[in-house]
């Protein structure tokens, strides 16, 4: 081994540091300087802690490199300086965090005019972040004394590294009380209001994006902290400010009272969507459980909804007249205008508003016919699946949600008390059923003429299934049934024919295709995964049961390269096989009576580690002992170890090949009707007829091939049968990896 001969190289840093005039750059030129620093080489750490060296390290990460330096090494020393300062060496952290002169030099980087050098900004942010985590009291105290700190952070919010630093101040401060003090300080400095002012058309896209992301992360971090720290009595002041009605109104005013700017609009919608999250979603767009269904009492801060409701008409107008977009040419046609990021996010906002299930919001959407416009977009933009999934979410929630509390009319009868105004609007005003049937028929007509299947058909299938499901089992089932019965006779007949015809056929075809795809995918996965790492995955290695001197390192590359091919249609092969069978049978009949009968049943005994020898072509039955004919002969290992713990009992006459998943039957399987015959009769019958069965398992299919050789008539018969595996029924397969894997996965 490398270390056995003591060939390791020694660091030159110790030798270099013995020089009196050694410079910082000379030390930084050493390849192992970072490793030696993290290993806390005393000479190196003492050298770096020199006042001039610490000052030079900070200078490297806060000042622009000289333009005369070659580009490929321009940021070499700033990068190494950053790594040295953030190597988490306690002495360096102490010196940097407690020396106000060094902190002022570091803080001076923020006082540069924007835009900041993004690479140097990342170095600065990384160094200050580790100081906040290791020296929170000292750093917070230092920053609070700087009156322009919040102003500078907001000024440079367009630089992503500065945004990260702001968020780090909310997450890396460990003492709860100190964190609360920081939140109160930032709230007093009106950091939320300043970030809100950054999201308006007059600012650039980088500021829009980073300010929006900062506000979204503040919301999520604050809510997560509230869930984690249940005993916290003080509310989060930043979250409280964000959820105020005037804050949301200011956000909306920034995008609607000035010129339309897509970047600002999308950024504001992202903030609203985050405000509407009362808990983090585990998934998005999963139709089996759309958002809101697991907790129908989904609630949003009332002040947020009150701020948004008057602006719904403005969002609706964005669907009709989005910010101007250039004509988009695609492979199938021209989009004029394309959907655009603005309208897509407005639809997402509508889905979140529907999730709140608020009567005033629902009523406003109905009055504006926003759902009708969204459905028009769904059927117009046939290839935009981002739009389709949001429309599917909207319809799924409308069909499955109970009516909003104020939707319940107390004067009506009990059976008709709960009616959803959204469902009524969807089925009557939007003609939901008719549009689904018409779109389906139009698609079938185009396909019959050689056209493509429309891109929304998969979502349309799930929407139709959602109607059928909620009609039968949903909370709004009676209302949906009533609305369908009120359709015109022609429309009702078309719907009934559709769900019993095209929809049922599609569901059946999708189910069959899914089963076939799953079966083939599993089979292919099973065959491809059995590579040389199969042993490591399951933990059964033949080498564990063999003498180490006998181990042969033969890699098991691919099981799929092993072919089991039995062609029963070639007469030449059959004739040759029959001839060979005659020769073997004749040899068996001529054999002396003292020789061991190889056809007798044998107990299969697996030797422990000291006795087992691996063989790629042998079977376990070849190593078994004959317990019937030679009762007095015992395995020497078994005699010396009477314990039965090392012996695995397997049904007599069977063995399971764990690698190949192949079961081979013993030729002398005895049926119940033969139990009364003598041993000599059994031997005679055994010699007259032999039967061998081989089972090949491939994925979920099992092929059983049997060969019956009749010595009396001198014939050999092949039989083959295919079956589908549901679970391994053979008790002898309980230690078989393939059978275990197959039954468990299927």
Distance CA 599, CA 285 (A): 63
pLDDT band at 127 (very low <50, low <70, confident <90, very high): very high
**What are the contacts of 251-258 at 24+ separation with CB within 8 A?**
251/196, 251/199, 252/307, 252/308, 252/311, 252/314, 254/196, 254/197, 254/199, 254/200, 254/201, 255/199, 255/200, 255/201, 256/311, 256/314, 258/200, 258/201, 258/202
Question: What pLDDT score does 663 carry?
Answer: 36
Question: In the structure encoding, which two tokens stand for residue 410, read together?
Answer: 């107390």
- pLDDT reported for residue 320: 95
* pLDDT at residue 134 tops 50: yes
More confident residue, 66 or 265: 265
**What pLDDT, in 10s, does the model give residues 660-679?**
333 333 333 434 444 444 44
Burial environment of residue 723 by CB neighbours within 10 A (0 to 12, 13 to 18, 19 or more):
exposed
Distance between CA 278 and CA 93 in Å, rounded?
Answer: 39
Residue 676: what pLDDT?
Answer: 44
Whether the CB-CB separation of 301 and 275 falls below 8 Å is answered with yes
**654-657: strand order across its sheet:** 654-657, 662-665, 689-698, 701-710, 715-724
pTM above threshold 0.75: no
Q: Which of the two residues, 212 and 590, has the higher pLDDT score?
A: 212
**Are 695 and 683 within 8 A, CB to CB?**
no
Give residue 611's pLDDT.
45
**Cβ burial, residue 81 (10 Å; 0-12/13-18/19+):** buried
Lowest mean pLDDT among 67-71, 75-79, 463-467, 692-696: 692-696
- Residue matched to tokens 């091939």: 705
Residue 337 has pLDDT above 90, yes or no: no
DSSP code at position 633: -
Token readout for 216 is 């979204």
Instruction: Give me the long-range contacts of 544-552 (CB less than 8 A, separation at least 24).
Output: 544/609, 545/607, 545/608, 545/609, 545/612, 545/614, 546/609, 546/612, 546/613, 546/614, 547/610, 547/613, 550/613, 550/614, 551/614, 552/614
Rounded Cα distance between 349 and 365, Å, is 12
Express each pLDDT in 466-489 by its tens digit. 999 999 999 999 999 999 999 999
Q: Does the pLDDT of residue 459 top 80, yes or no?
A: yes
3-state secondary structure of 610: coil
| More reliable by pLDDT, 63 or 569 | 63
Please provide the DSSP assignment of 172-233 as one string. S--SHHHHHHHHHHHHHTTHHHHHHHTSSTTS-HHHHHHHHHHHHHHHHHHHHHHHH-TT--
Q: What is the pLDDT of residue 443?
A: 95
pLDDT given at position 205: 95
Select the more confidently predicted residue: 600 or 620. Answer: 600
Do 388 and 462 meet the contact criterion of CB atoms below 8 Å apart?
Answer: no
- Residue 724 pLDDT exceeds 80: no
Return the pLDDT at 262: 95
**290-330 residue pLDDT tens:** 433 444 333 678 899 999 999 999 999 999 999 888 888 88
Residues 6+ apart with CB under 8 A from 243: 275, 301, 303, 304
Provide mean pLDDT across the span 714-740: 50
pLDDT of residue 702: 67
Residue 364: CA count within 13 A, CB half-sphere: 19
* The residue count for the chain: 746
Quote the strand ranges of 217-340, DSSP E: 328-329, 334-335
Element of type H or E holding 662: strand 662-665
Q: Measure the CA–CA gap between 396 and 374, rounded to whole angstroms.
A: 14
Burial code (b: 16+ CB inside 10 Å, e: under 16) for 311-332 equals bbeebbebbeebbebeeeeeee
Transcribe 515-532 into DSSP letters: HHHHHHHHHHHHHHH-ST
Average pLDDT over residues 726-745: 38
Average pLDDT of the segment spanning 282-290:
38
**Any idea which of 197-201, 215-219, 381-385, 713-717 has the lowest mean pLDDT?**
713-717
Question: What average pLDDT is seen over the chain?
Answer: 76
Indicate if the pLDDT at residue 361 is higher than 70: yes
Task: Work out whether the CA dihedral 451, 453, 455, 456 comes out positive or negative.
Answer: positive
Q: Which helix (H) or strand (E) holds 352?
A: helix 340-356
Confidence grade of residue 217 (pLDDT, cut at 50, 70, 90): very high
- Are 387 and 347 in contact, with CB atoms under 8 Å apart? yes
The pLDDT of 588-617, averaged and rounded, is: 48
Beta strands per DSSP E along 5-47: none
**Burial of residue 370, with CB atoms counted within 10 A of its CB: 0-12 exposed, 13-18 middle, 19 or more buried:** buried
How far is 394 from 351, CA to CA, in rounded Å? 5
């Amino acid at each position: 081994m490398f270390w056995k001969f003591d060939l390791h190289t020694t660091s030159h840093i110790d030798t270099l540091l013995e020089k009196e005039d050694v410079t910082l750059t000379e030390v930084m030129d050493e390849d192992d300087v970072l490793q030696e620093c993290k290993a806390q080489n005393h000479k190196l750490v003492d050298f770096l802690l020199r006042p001039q060296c610490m000052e030079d390290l900070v200078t490297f990460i806060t000042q622009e490199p000289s333009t005369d330096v070659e580009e490929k090494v321009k940021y070499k020393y700033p990068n190494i300086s950053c790594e040295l300062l953030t190597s988490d060496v306690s002495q360096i952290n102490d010196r940097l965090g407690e020396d106000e002169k060094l902190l002022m030099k570091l803080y001076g980087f923020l006082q540069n005019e924007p835009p900041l050098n993004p690479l140097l900004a990342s170095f600065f942010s990384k160094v200050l972040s580790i100081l906040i985590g290791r020296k929170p009291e000292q750093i917070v105290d230092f920053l609070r004394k700087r009156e322009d700190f919040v102003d500078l952070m907001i000024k440079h919010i367009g630089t992503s590294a500065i945004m990260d630093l702001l968020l780090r101040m909310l997450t890396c401060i460990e003492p709860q009380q100190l964190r609360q003090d920081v939140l109160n300080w930032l709230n007093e400095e009106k950091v939320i209001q300043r970030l809100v002012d950054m999201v308006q058309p007059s600012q650039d896209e980088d500021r829009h994006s980073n300010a929006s992301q900062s506000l979204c992360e503040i919301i999520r971090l604050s809510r997560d902290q509230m869930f984690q720290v249940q005993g916290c009595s003080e509310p989060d002041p930043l979250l409280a400010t964000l959820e105020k009605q005037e804050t949301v109104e200011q956000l909306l005013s920034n995008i609607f009272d000035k010129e339309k700017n897509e970047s600002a609009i999308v950024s504001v919608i992202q903030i609203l969507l985050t405000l509407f999250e009362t808990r983090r979603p585990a998934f998005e767009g999963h139709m089996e459980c759309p958002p809101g269904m697991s907790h129908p009492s989904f609630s949003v801060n009332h002040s947020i909804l009150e701020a948004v409701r008057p602006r719904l008409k403005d969002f609706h107008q964005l669907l009709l007249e989005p910010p101007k977009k250039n004509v988009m040419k695609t492979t199938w046609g021209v989009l004029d205008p394309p959907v655009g990021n603005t309208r897509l996010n407005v639809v997402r906002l509508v889905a979140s508003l529907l999730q709140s299930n608020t009567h005033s919001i629902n009523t406003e959407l109905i009055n504006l016919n926003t759902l009708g416009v969204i459905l028009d977009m769904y059927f117009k933009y046939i290839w935009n699946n981002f739009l389709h999934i949001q429309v599917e979410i909207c319809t799924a929630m409308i069909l499955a949600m109970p009516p909003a509390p104020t939707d319940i009319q107390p004067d009506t009868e009990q059976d008709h008390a709960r009616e959803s105004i959204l469902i009524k609007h969807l089925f009557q005003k939007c003609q939901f059923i008719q549009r689904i049937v018409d779109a389906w028929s139009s698609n079938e007509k185009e396909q019959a003429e050689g056209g493509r299947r429309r891109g929304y058909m998969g979502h349309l299938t799930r929407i139709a299934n959602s109607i059928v499901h909620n009609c039968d089992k949903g909370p709004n089932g009676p209302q949906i049934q009533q609305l369908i019965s009120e359709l015109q006779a022609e429309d009702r007949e078309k719907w009934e024919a559709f769900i019993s015809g095209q929809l049922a056929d599609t569901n059946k075809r999708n189910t069959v295709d899914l089963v076939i795809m799953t079966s083939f995918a599993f089979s292919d996965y099973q065959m491809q995964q059995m590579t040389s790492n199969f042993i490591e995955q399951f933990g059964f290695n033949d080498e564990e049961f063999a003498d180490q001197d006998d181990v042969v390192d033969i890699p098991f590359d691919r099981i799929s390269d092993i072919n089991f091919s039995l062609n029963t249609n070639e007469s030449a092969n059959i004739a040759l096989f029959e001839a060979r069978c005659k020769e073997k049978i004749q040899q068996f009949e001529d054999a002396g009576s003292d020789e061991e009968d190889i056809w007798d049943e044998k107990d299969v005994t697996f030797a422990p580690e000291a006795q087992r020898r691996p063989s790629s072509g042998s079977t376990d039955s070849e190593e078994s002992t004959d317990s019937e004919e030679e009762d007095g002969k015992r395995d020497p290992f078994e005699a010396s170890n009477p314990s039965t713990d090392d012996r695995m009992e397997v049904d007599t006459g069977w063995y399971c090949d764990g690698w190949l998943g192949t079961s081979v039957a013993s030729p002398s399987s005895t049926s119940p009707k033969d139990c009364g015959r003598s041993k000599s009769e059994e031997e005679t019958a055994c010699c007259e007829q032999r039967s061998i069965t081989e089972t090949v398992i491939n994925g979920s299919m099992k092929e059983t091939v049997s060969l019956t050789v009749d010595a009396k008539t001198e014939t050999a018969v092949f039989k083959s049968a295919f079956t589908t595996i549901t679970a391994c029924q053979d008790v002898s397969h309980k230690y078989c990896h393939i059978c275990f894997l197959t039954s468990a996965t299927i």
